[in-house]
């Protein structure tokens, strides 16, 4: 029987098969334009990632970190040239998050587009190909799905939807690293989910995208954004101040406690920055393509920064087993730690550096290294020897000299006598 004469009654099973494969075919294509006509709902973001995971099964891995107050899944993806589902030793992870304030949704659309763009251009664009070959991109488009649901399109300066469903500002809900107030916070489900997830992953560089202004905390980003860097000033109509070169020191702009950025930097050892991407918190979607085009070069330049500085593994010199160690760049206030597998990363500008490595039961290691514009990224694999420092003398490294700190009055008195004898000898 010809197909055109196959009615529903006569060819029931045939049409069932046609409809089945039609649905499978439709699921293999994106449901909506990743950016442009409208904002995606929370479930649509997850659906979009699911579709991309089917199209690029070897480059994209979808995951969930937990649930919101109203039981919505907080979805994320990992993107890399291969094995995106796992961390690979010495392959740095870069993390982009957005929508921690539910009424600032521009970032979630930009990140959805970034993931799509990276996958579509892998193997075509040299920079994208390098980044996916050498790094792993982690993206969580919304940290506050409940807040987004009650936000209002076109509300540029309001607060409706800013908090989670329990009324907590999630960007004030992380551990208070400065201890200036009571640290007994009531951590929210979204906060607990993120902390439990990120503590298992060595994130080297991270960015949290906000809205309501137009400013970044890093020249590497703002210099690649024409609006941020134009005329050395960046401003939005209702801003009380302008930002020279499109950047600001966050603490000087306004200080907060319990922020995601401070938590990532001080407790997770990640170089963490905040981006205010749009003047309006929840602008009409027609402007999203413009924002994307303005920010794409900066996003890629920022991503590239994860391939600067140092990385390496600390090992036992005798057994080659990895060591958990504490590291410090001389002249810097905050140190950092290796992972349980001995891995470490640190983003640094070109210059001369001294790295001090300490671990219990091992002699400290000191490594001098140089970074240049031509060689901005080096691998330092450090071997440590079992042993202790001298009982009475500890070596203290400063940014100028190597000094001696005495831990008992006997050793100090002995050294004074020796120095006196040497001075007397030279004077004669």
Please identify every residue annotated as catalytic: 276
What residues contact residue 226 under an 8 Å CB cut-off, 6+ apart?
Answer: 294
Tokens of 101: 């304030």
Residue 167, sorted as left (phi over 0), alpha (psi -120 to 50) or beta, turns out to be left
Element (H, E) at 208: strand 203-210
**Torsion sign across C-alpha atoms 85, 89, 94, 98:** positive
- C-alpha–C-alpha distance, residues 25 and 257, integer Å: 49
Tokens of 209: 């995208």
For residue 263, the SS3 value is helix
Inter-residue contact 366 to 354 (CB < 8 Å): yes
- C-alpha–C-alpha distance, residues 396 and 59, integer Å: 46
Chain mean position to CA 69:
24
Inter-residue contact 99 to 143 (CB < 8 Å): yes
**Torsion sign across C-alpha atoms 380, 383, 387, 390:** negative
Annotate 79-118 with b (16+ C-beta within 10 A) or e (fewer).
bbbeebeebeebbbbbbbbbbbbbbbbbbbbbbbbbbbbb
Q: Which of 100, 114, 77 is nearest to 191 (CA)?
A: 100
Tokens 């060595």: give the residue: 202
Q: Which of 280, 353, 276, 325 is nearest to 100 (CA)?
A: 276
What residues contact residue 266 under an 8 Å CB cut-off, 6+ apart?
Answer: 177, 334
Tokens of 192: 């607990």
Q: What do you get for the CA distance between the two ends of the chain, in Å?
A: 121
Tokens of 183: 């640290």
């Amino acid at each position: 029987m010809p197909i055109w004469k196959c009615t529903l009654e006569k060819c029931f099973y045939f049409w069932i098969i046609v409809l089945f494969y039609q649905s499978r075919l439709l699921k293999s294509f994106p449901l909506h334009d990743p950016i442009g006509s409208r904002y995606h709902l929370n479930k649509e973001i997850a659906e979009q990632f699911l579709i991309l995971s089917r199209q690029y099964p070897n480059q994209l891995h979808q995951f969930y970190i937990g649930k919101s107050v109203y039981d919505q899944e907080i979805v994320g993806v990992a993107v890399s040239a291969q094995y995106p589902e796992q961390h690979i030793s010495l392959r740095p992870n870069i993390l982009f998050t957005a929508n921690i304030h539910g009424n600032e949704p521009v970032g979630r659309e930009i990140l959805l587009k970034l993931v799509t763009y990276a996958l579509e251009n892998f193997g075509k664009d040299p920079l994208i190909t390098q980044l996916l070959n050498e790094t792993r991109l982690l993206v969580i488009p919304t940290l506050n799905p409940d807040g987004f649901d009650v936000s209002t399109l076109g509300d540029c300066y309001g607060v409706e939807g800013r908090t989670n469903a329990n009324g907590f500002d999630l960007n004030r809900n992380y551990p208070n690293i400065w201890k200036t107030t009571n640290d007994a916070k009531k951590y929210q489900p979204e906060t607990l989910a993120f902390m439990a997830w990120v503590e298992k992953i060595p994130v080297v560089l991270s960015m949290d995208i906000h809205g309501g202004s137009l400013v970044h905390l890093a020249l590497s980003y703002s210099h690649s954004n024409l609006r941020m860097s134009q005329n050395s000033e960046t401003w939005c109509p209702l801003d009380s101040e302008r930002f020279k070169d499109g950047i600001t020191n966050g603490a000087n702009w306004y200080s907060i406690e319990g922020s995601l950025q401070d938590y990532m930097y001080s407790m997770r050892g990640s170089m963490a920055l905040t981006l205010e991407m749009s003047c309006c918190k929840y602008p009409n979607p027609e402007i999203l393509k413009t924002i994307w085009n303005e920010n794409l070069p900066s996003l890629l330049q920022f991503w590239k920064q994860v391939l600067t500085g140092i990385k390496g593994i600390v090992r036992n010199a005798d057994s080659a087993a990895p060591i958990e160690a504490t590291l410090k760049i001389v002249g810097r206030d905050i140190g950092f730690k290796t992972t349980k597998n001995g891995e470490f990363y640190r983003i640094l500008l070109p210059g001369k550096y001294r790295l001090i490595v300490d671990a219990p039961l091992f002699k400290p290691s000191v490594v001098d290294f140089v970074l240049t514009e031509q060689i901005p990224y080096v691998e330092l694999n450090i071997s440590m020897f079992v042993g202790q420092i001298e009982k009475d003398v500890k070596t203290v490294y400063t940014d100028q000299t190597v000094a001696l700190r005495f831990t008992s009055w006997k050793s100090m008195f002995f050294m004074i006598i020796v120095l006196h004898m040497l001075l007397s000898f030279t004077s004669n």
